[in-house]
Structure 1
Amino acid sequence: MSPEFSLSKLASDYPASAIRAMFERVAAYEGVTKLTVGEPDFDTPEHIVEAAIASLRAGETRYSANAGIPEFREAIARHYSARWGRALDDRNVMVAVGGMEALLLALSAVLDRGDDILVPDPAYPNYHGQIHMLGANAVQVPLSAAAGFRLTAADVEARLTPRTRAVLVNSPSNPLGVMIDEEELRKLAKLADERNFVLISDEVYDRIVYDGRQHLSVAAIDPNFERFLIVNSLSKSYAMTGWRSGFVVGPAALVEPMPRMQEGITSCLPVFIQRAGIAAFEGPDEATIRMVEAYERRRNLVVAGIRGISGLDCITPEGAFYLFADVRGTGQGSDEFANGLLERQRVAVIPGTAFGASGEGFIRISFAANEATIQQALDGIGAYVAELG
């Protein structure tokens, strides 16, 4: 009899995704209106697609450099040099397979086993899985609903430990749609210098901001600030989720080891996808502008709809395409509300607890769907709340 096979502790203890659990529940029902997925419902702009096709026809189907082809890295460096007022070149850029691998490379560059990294709560749950894989400790920084779920430097300072090596921030935020203001970014940068930690900033929604706002990166706060790694991708801004085109931008000393790690993870991003990325950065911007205009209309629709339902409330998202709706006035918790809404009205949303304990009493609504789908979901939410009396 063969000995019993056992899983690794890493595999056994890997944190389960409550978002994935909701997807599995949704699969058991037919005709569900889904406001769950953070994926643009637009097609990738044509000039980006054509750049990839031209690359394929030119035979660019072989391995590339681990860090990415120089032309793509230089295009990224030029783009952010202009936006941040910071001198960057290809040594400051690491190309990755999607934003998630970009995040893994950033975390791997600064965290050792047993180190602490501060993570806001609520926050994107996949952060915790990657931190777990590295054997580091995610220290939660609870955000207050009463304060609009805004992260402050004081919140971070209160949670720092002697083992803190990094602080992870996300602005605009998934699931909250809120942005960190300039004053707090300056305080966070100052705190990073004083307490010797790296700010890892997830900025995948940096182009999706509303009401005439401009996104401000911590990398633009001070050209002398060097304790940062910016994680980004083309997925959201250019409707390229399936292309898996991500990157890290940071000081050359922090980026330098990443190509070596990339060799042992995915080796490289295909060249034709990198050519598409160059077209995204250097081509016309009209498609992205139109997408953001559409998201802003959808945001206005969902904010008005939620606020028009007795017992529900929300803050107005400043960026990204998520709304964190307050359902505490119904007397139900996040999971009870999300499950009941699915069962009774066939409308799928994500319970706020999927993003951390501070999300209790809230649900995340994605307004990346079209307006007809959003209105149908709002009608179902209204009907469900009415049933609750």
Structure 2
Amino acid sequence: MKTTDVTARLASFGGAKWDLHLSARQRIGAGADIIEMTIGEPDVPVPSELMQQAITSMQAGRTGYSDGRGEINLRQALAESYSTSRGRSFEPDNFLCFPGTQTALFSVMMGVAQAGDEVLVGDPMYATYEGVVAASGANLVPVPLSPEHGFRMQAADVASRITPRTRALLLTSPHNPTGAILGKADLLELCKLAREHDFWILSDEVYEQLVFEGSEFVSPLSLAEYADRVIAVSSISKSHAAPGFRSGWCVGSKAFCDALLPYSETMLFGNQPFIADMTELAIRDGSSVAAGMSERFSRRAQLLADRLEIETSLQVHRPEAGMFAMINVATTGLNGDDYAWDLLENGVAVMPGSAFSDSLTSWVRVALTISDAEFETALGRIISHAKARIGDAA
């Protein structure tokens, strides 16, 4: 039987990028001694107060159908929180609620781009972005993020890729996989281009609360003069260590949310009321775990960089936020894919950089989310492996 064009467009965006991660999981399940540093699972459980709120709400009968926009109590909490953090006024109708950032971004993309359009995306990029753009029928136009510029998007690189078909620029700040953060000056230049050429700014802000000391997060939503063309997506997955609850949202102008609502209702019809109650508590009380995660991830990234750059010739891009660090493994004589599979045989699983871009063929991404004890053991294995490989390459 024949399937639709969208299945064909997405056929190459399946799970192949995660083959090494899945292989590591299988080997661990069979008893292999492998330290997993592949994906960004928070290193703490869901806070007990959030878990209890979800249970209490279920027991109170908050298990029925939801408001199609998302429960009003949650949207009111989001409006108050964003009004404070972005320095301008938001109302509940500036929000639509979804099961996680991924669903929010997918829906937003379907609302701004279609066949024949172009979407500018920083390259490297999170692994699902290609599929999100392809699902809409639009063409993804990569904008290089170079290590020479700290993996921060440059307005000149964006400007050179704008065409009459450009409909959106997708930003990720803090960035996955590199941990880079765009500053206010960067965002102003990009927003000026968006206004000049009449395209949307889409902002994935899921790592907003995992910013390391000495760095600062700025949202394009705080630039009031560009408010009509900025749409952001986020969730409690990272900030509140609750990825399995799938609770996210988009925020934009009321006109955009009104226009997207029928699509959202056709697909989802709102989020679960008991999860909305849990998320309201998370938003109103703030995160009890984000600061601790930021401190630990920053410290581990610093340790990784210091030790690898002192004891080996591997180079580490020092992240400003998030759950990951990038390692340039070119001096081993292996590309990132071969290095990652070879390191797996030596007891550490990391993600090949090619899962995020062809520009990262000499890089791997390392998760900072394992315990300190495991991290120390993994560092020892990475260093021993590098010394052996660099010796062979020499």
Regarding TM over 0.5, the answer is yes
CA distance 1:284–1:203, change in 2 (3 Å): closer
SS class of match (2:224): coil
2:19 is aligned to 21
Deviations 1:235-264 (A, max 9, x none): 000000000001001111111123211222
SS class of match (1:317): coil
Q: Any residues of structure 2 matched to 1:1-389 within 5 Å, and which?
A: 5-14=1-10, 15-29=13-27, 30-283=32-285, 285-343=287-345, 345-388=346-389, 389=391
Instruction: Supply the distance in 1 between the matched residues of 2:223 and 2:46 (Cα, whole angstroms).
Output: 32
Instruction: Supply the distance in 2 between the matched residues of 1:192 and 1:284 (Cα, whole angstroms).
Output: 32
Question: How much has 1:279 moved relative to structure 2?
Answer: 0.6
AA of the residue aligned to 1:192: A
The count of residues paired between Structure 1 and Structure 2 equals: 384
Q: Which runs of 5+ in 2 are unaligned?
A: none
Question: How much has 1:223 moved relative to structure 2?
Answer: 4.7
AA of the residue aligned to 2:77: A
Instruction: Supply the distance in 2 between the matched residues of 1:113 and 1:12 (Cα, whole angstroms).
Output: 14
Deviations 1:121-160 (A, max 9, x none): 1010201111111111111112222222211111111111
> Is the CA contact 2:173–2:207 (under 8 Å) kept in the aligned structure 1?
yes
Question: How much has 1:97 moved relative to structure 2?
Answer: 0.7
Deviations 1:85-129 (A, max 9, x none): 111001101100111001011111111222100111101020111
Deviations 1:14-36 (A, max 9, x none): 22344322223324532221100
Instruction: Supply the distance in 1 between the matched residues of 2:226 and 2:130 (Cα, whole angstroms).
Output: 30
TM-score (norm 1): 0.95
Instruction: Supply the distance in 2 between the matched residues of 1:263 and 1:31 (Cα, whole angstroms).
Output: 46
Question: How much has 1:9 moved relative to structure 2?
Answer: 4.2
CA distance 1:178–1:224, change in 2 (3 Å): closer
AA of the residue aligned to 1:385: A
Instruction: Supply the distance in 1 between the matched residues of 2:264 and 2:126 (Cα, whole angstroms).
Output: 23
Instruction: Supply the distance in 1 between the matched residues of 2:384 and 2:59 (Cα, whole angstroms).
Output: 53
Identity of aligned residues (%): 33
Question: How much has 1:58 moved relative to structure 2?
Answer: 0.7
AA of the residue aligned to 2:380: D
CA distance 1:298–1:58, change in 2 (3 Å): same
Question: How much has 1:284 moved relative to structure 2?
Answer: 5.2
Question: How much has 1:8 moved relative to structure 2?
Answer: 4.0
> Is the CA contact 2:191–2:226 (under 8 Å) kept in the aligned structure 1?
no
> Is the CA contact 1:118–1:168 (under 8 Å) kept in the aligned structure 2?
yes
Question: How much has 1:185 moved relative to structure 2?
Answer: 0.5
Aligned-residue CA RMSD in angstroms?
Answer: 1.6
AA of the residue aligned to 1:127: Y
Question: How much has 1:169 moved relative to structure 2?
Answer: 0.6
- Is the helix fraction higher in 1 or 2? 2
Q: Which deviates further from its counterpart, 173-182 or 249-258? A: 249-258
TM-score (norm 2): 0.93
Question: How much has 1:77 moved relative to structure 2?
Answer: 1.0
SS class of match (1:132): helix
Instruction: Supply the distance in 1 between the matched residues of 2:36 and 2:168 (Cα, whole angstroms).
Output: 35
Instruction: Supply the distance in 2 between the matched residues of 1:119 and 1:224 (Cα, whole angstroms).
Output: 19
Question: How much has 1:354 moved relative to structure 2?
Answer: 0.7
